[in-house]
Amino acid sequence: MRKIGVIIRKEWSEVFKNRFVLFTVAFLPLVLTAIPIIILYSMSTSGDAGAIGLGDIPGNVNELCPGMSGGECSQYFLVSQFMLLFMMIPLMIPVTIASYSIVGEKTTRTLEPLLATPISTIQLLAGKGLAAVIPAALASWGSFAIFSVAAHFIASGPNVSARLRDPLWLMAIFVVGPLMSIAAVCVAVMISSRVNEPRAAEQLSMLLVIPLLALFFGRIAGFVLINEALIMWMAVALVLIDAGLIALAINLFQRDTILTRWK
Amino acid sequence: MIVTENLTKFYGSVKAVEGLTLRVEPGEVFGFLGPNAAGKTTTVRMLCALIGITSGHASVAGYEVGKEDHQIRCNTGILTEAPGLYDQLSAERNLGIFAQLHEVEDVAGQVERYLRMLGLWGRRNDPVGTFSKGMRQKLAIARALLHEPKVLFLDEPTSALDPEAARLVRTFIADLKQEGRTIFMCTHNLDEADRLCDRIAIFRTQLLALDTPSALRRKLYGRTSVFHLRNAGPKFVKILQSTANVHEVQMVDNKLLATLDDPEKQNPELVRSLVDAGADVQFVGELRRTLEDVYLRFVQSPAEQQEAH
């Protein structure tokens, strides 16, 4: 564990000196937090929401907001579309960090001295992975906390703010988010072993956002309903995917190949 | 301290190292010489347990490569071809990270010791990216020494350094030699190898020669005496050629070069013959072949040697 800690601290002290990484870690959560807060605020202040009756809400959406008025339900439904944005934070931040931290070792030729120390591949990858996952998880949790506090004061009724903090979203943010981060880091590690440029690793790893965007647009289009069952299934699937990706990333991190092919 | 037996490495179908057998004794500074792409770095990487062996055996500090890799990494230090330092971090932080990974007991104390030893203590808080090449190289050597390894591998320690920086690094290596460290050094700098190494191996995918620098010179060229004459001429060449156990005689300007079996015994006799024949002998010395001559004789193919002539 001590060696993993050394790698994490090294990564943070190095990676956060990179302005692009720092910008991504700080700016992205700010923007993605501001969007649902602004929507919530504009809906609460416009007064239009109050004119919406339960009959105006589609049946399948109505199921998501028991005990709410039509206005509250529409406010919850619209804001919850953007709640998915919080799940982009744990995908995009670790990809940025991991892409720089691993390909960076390649470009600065620091990997060979590092591999010559008595550190195992698992310790090295765990250190690098956690160095990327922890800031991402903290950023998404922090963003969600800010949003929850804001929602408490801005939402048109206590029902809406309570519903935005219910187990569905708590599980999405606190469980599914970090699981997605782990998957993103594993993919970034694997891509890093095949490319020579941090940006290339980052861009390829960013393809991971596509399934989440599909979910986002599917929800907006009304094809997908995000409920407890879906989040639960996502968590279970991600646990399995993560286990497979971790094993694959460790397997692909062959010192021989890395030292002789990484130029 | 280092033993290899038929050590072989293939990258796919490309042969990088073939049947390397050698032995490096404790406290020895061992030079590993060879042209680019000869397999020197591959050999070092195998011995440091960084990459696998295709066939053969090797042990370092008593531990077998491929089976006891963790212990090998604990007992070896490596200066890689490029210093590979974290430019954004300070010198102290760079060394601290590696000291912790090597589980050094007194991290701060050991880091301070080496930074002071290398004259970098005053710059300990500066980012390594602001250091000169020589300073970076010294810092990378210090990093390799932090855990007091039994064997130190240096891959091109003075390459790409200006003469002053190279001299600083060489002095440091000489100090390490005085401490009795076992050092395995890959280098292109033949003068450096001549000065620092107890023995050298000349290598090009396979071992071409292995001995002390002076023994290699002797083996290749024999020992050559140089007779400086005021009145050098062909008749003196004939006199030397007609003497027993004189293998090769050349006249270069006013010098006669004679390859002998035992110069200490033969020189007085030859001087006498030359003087009797009317030669004015000014002084007698021994021709010292450079290690470069020896190296090129081994690594160049006959066609390349002919072209060079």
Residue whose entry in the numeric block shows the structure tokens 């589980």? B103
| Candidates A13, A114, A256; nearest CB to B52 | A256
* Domain boundary pick from B211, B240, B261: B211
Q: Which CATH number covers residue B241? A: 3.30.70.100
Domain match, B130 and B179 both = yes
pLDDT of residue A210: 77
Q: B207 and B165, same structural domain? A: yes
* Confidence grade of residue A61 (pLDDT, cut at 50, 70, 90): low
Q: Which residue has better confidence, A41 or B49?
A: B49
- Token pair listed for B9: 């490495």
Q: What is the ipTM of this complex?
A: 0.78
The 10s digit of each residue's pLDDT in A190-248 is 887 777 776 777 777 777 777 777 777 777 776 777 777 888 888 999 999 999 999 98
Of the candidates A2, A13, A255, which has its C-beta nearest B50's C-beta? A255
Contact with chain A for residue B40, Cβ under 8 A: no
Task: Say if residue A63's pLDDT is above 80.
Answer: no
pLDDT value of position A166 = 79
The minimum CA-CA distance between B91 and chain A, rounded to whole Å, is: 13
Q: Are B251 and B201 within one domain? A: no
Are residues B224 and B189 part of one domain? Answer: no
Query: Cβ B87–A115 below 8 Å, yes or no?
Result: no
Q: Which residue has better confidence, A260 or A122? A: A122
Domain co-membership, B113 together with B236: no
- Which contacts of B146-149 are long-range, i.e. CB under 8 A and separated by 24 or more positions? B146/B77, B146/B95, B146/B98, B146/B99, B146/B102, B146/B104, B146/B110, B146/B111, B146/B114, B147/B74, B147/B77, B147/B99, B147/B102, B147/B103, B147/B104, B149/B61, B149/B74, B149/B75, B149/B76, B149/B77
Kindly state the average pLDDT of the residues A181-192.
84
B76 in a structural domain:
yes
Contacts of B143 (CB under 8 A, 6+ apart): A113, B77, B85, B94, B95, B98
Angle between helices A19-46 and A70-86 (to 10 degrees): 180
Residue B296 lies inside a defined structural domain of this protein: no
DSSP A175: I
Q: Is residue B161 part of a domain?
A: yes
- CA distance, residue A124 to nearest chain B CA (Å): 10
The residue that leads in pLDDT, A55 or B258, is B258
Residue A143 has pLDDT above 80, yes or no: yes
Nearest-by-CA chain A residue for B140: A113
Contacts of A6 in chain B (CB under 8 A): 97, 100-101
pLDDT band at A260 (very low <50, low <70, confident <90, very high): confident
Mean per-residue pLDDT, A66-93: 77
What pLDDT does B48 receive? 92
B44 touches chain A (CB under 8 A): no
Query: What is the extent of the structural domain holding B171?
Result: 2-211
* Structure confidence by residue, pLDDT tens digits, A149-180: 888 887 767 777 777 777 888 888 889 889 98
What mean pLDDT do residues A109-117 have? 90
Q: Which two tokens stand for residue B214?
A: 């002076």
Torsion of CA A172, A174, A177, A179, to 10 degrees: -110
Q: Is the residue at B304 inside a domain?
A: no
Q: Check whether residue B118 and residue B175 sit in a common domain.
A: yes
Are B141 and B244 in a shared domain? no
The residues that bridge with B226 in the sheet, in sequence order, are B257, B285
A10: which strand partners?
none
Same domain, B10 and B139: yes
Number of separate domains in chain B: 2
From the list A2, A13, A117, which residue is nearest B93 (CB)?
Answer: A13
Mean pLDDT score of chain A, rounded to an integer?
80
In a domain, B298, yes or no: no
Residues of A with Cβ-Cβ distance to B82 under 8 angstroms: 109
Binary contact (A108, B86; C-beta < 8 A)? yes
- The CA–CA distances, whole Å, from B79 to B159, B161, B171 equal 12, 14, 16
Q: Does B204 reach chain A within 8 Å, measured CB to CB? A: no
Count of C-beta atoms within a 10 Å radius of residue B190? 19
Domain of B140, CATH number, reads: 3.40.50.300
B183 lies in some domain: yes
List C-alpha distances in Å: A1 to A6, A114, A119, B99, B100: 9, 17, 11, 16, 12
A113/B50 CB distance under 8 A: no
Q: Is B84 close to A110, i.e. CB distance below 8 A?
A: yes
Boundaries of every domain in chain A: 2-261
Q: CB count, 10 Å around CB of A203? A: 14
Nearest Cα residue to A177 out of A245, A234, A118: A234
The C-alpha of A208 sits at a distance from chain B's nearest C-alpha, in angstroms, of: 30
Contact B84 A108 (CB under 8 A): yes
Shortest CA gap B14–chain A (Å): 13
Verify that B55 and B107 share a domain, yes or no. yes
Are B130 and B119 contacting, i.e. CB atoms less than 8 angstroms apart?
A: no
pLDDT of residue B301: 61
Show Cβ contacts of residue B158 under 8 Å, excluding neighbours closer than 6 positions: B137, B165, B166, B169, B170, B187, B189, B192
- Residue A206 · residue A92 · CB < 8 Å: yes
Q: Which residues pair with B32 in a beta bridge?
A: B186, B201
B10 and B117 inside one domain: yes
- The answer on B166 and B236 residing in a single domain is no
For an interface test with A, give the residue of B87, B101, B145, B154 to mutate (most A CBs within 10 A). Answer: B101
* Cα separation values, B242 from B237, B249, B258, B265, B279, Å: 9, 10, 12, 17, 16
Decide if B299 is inside a domain.
no
- Domain final residue pick, B179, B211, B243: B211
Interface of A with B in 17-76 (CB under 8 A): 17-18
Instruction: Clarify whether residues B167 and B150 are in a common domain.
Output: yes
Q: Which residues contact A191 (CB under 8 A, 6 or more apart)?
A: A99, A200, A201, A204, A205
Give the C-alpha separation, B81 to B155, whole Å: 5
Cα B96 to chain center, whole Å? Answer: 30
Integer Cα distance of B122 and B131 in angstroms: 12
Domain annotation covers residue B302: no
Mark which of B211, B233, B265 sits at the end of a domain. B211
Per-residue pLDDT at A62: 67
Residues in chain B with pLDDT values less than 70? 220-221, 300-309
- Mean pLDDT is highest, among A73-82, A144-153, A191-200, for A144-153
- Judged by a CB distance cut-off of 8 A, whether residue B9 touches chain A is no
